[in-house]
Copies of this chain bind each other. A is one copy, B any other.
Amino acid sequence: MKIAVLGTGSVGTTIGDKLIALGHEVMMGSRDATNPKAAAWVEAAGAGASQGTFAAAAAFAEVLFNCTAGLHSVAAIEAAGAGNLAGKLLLDLSNPLDFSAGFPPRLNPVSSDSLGEQLQRAVPALKVVKTLNTMAAPIMVDPSLVPGDHVVFVSGDDAEAKAQATMILTEGFGWKHVVDLGDITTARGTEGWLLLWTRLYGALGTPFFNLELRMGKQG
């Protein structure tokens, strides 16, 4: 499958590497067609890897991953172009984290909006599925790094797009427990989790953890 990975950071390269390993053709998209970080990734990733602008990557792809830094994600999607995105699935992995003042990052989630919804509103014909934004990048593509029945969430308005995203998560990345939270407004929940995730990172001294849901009985 032809897949665009938008973003050249550690999430983008981790996702790109995994998709190449799975046999997909991957174009890494960035603001500049000759972005040196994307070029380095293409050289390391080998056959099947290419780079281009956000718009070129979106035009190339059947499916897209948004791995841009959250503060720049809306601009990236707008640069990709509504015409290149219409009808396509975008897995949105971003979080609106502001690292300008160090760690823990600034993050001000609200119960009335989310970055996932902002991307959906920016291009209504795009099928946004918020997912994989709740754990460290290595765990995203190799959930076996963490023991137990830990979970990944999906949020989105389009049932078929969520099913396609879930198939990528399970058959591609090896996830066993995908929790469908509901429509794209539920992205407010997983983006809000980052407030706790960043504090757990600090307390545990490692980002290599994830959450498992334990169901109880009424008291």
Contact = CB atoms under 8 A, between A and B. Distances in A.
Give the one of A180, A194, A214 with max B CB within 10 A: A214
A209 B215 contact: yes
A219 B182 contact: no
Contact of A213 (B104, B190, B209): B209
Contact of A150 (B142, B209, B214): B214
Given A108-B109, A109-B109, 19 more contacts: A104-B111, A105-B111, A106-B112, A107-B110, A108-B112, A139-B219, A142-B219, A145-B218, A148-B212, A148-B214, A180-B203, A188-B195, A189-B198, A204-B213, A206-B215, A206-B218, A208-B216, A208-B219, A212-B214
Interface of A: 104-112, 138-139, 142, 145-148, 150, 179-182, 186, 188-200, 202-204, 206, 208-219
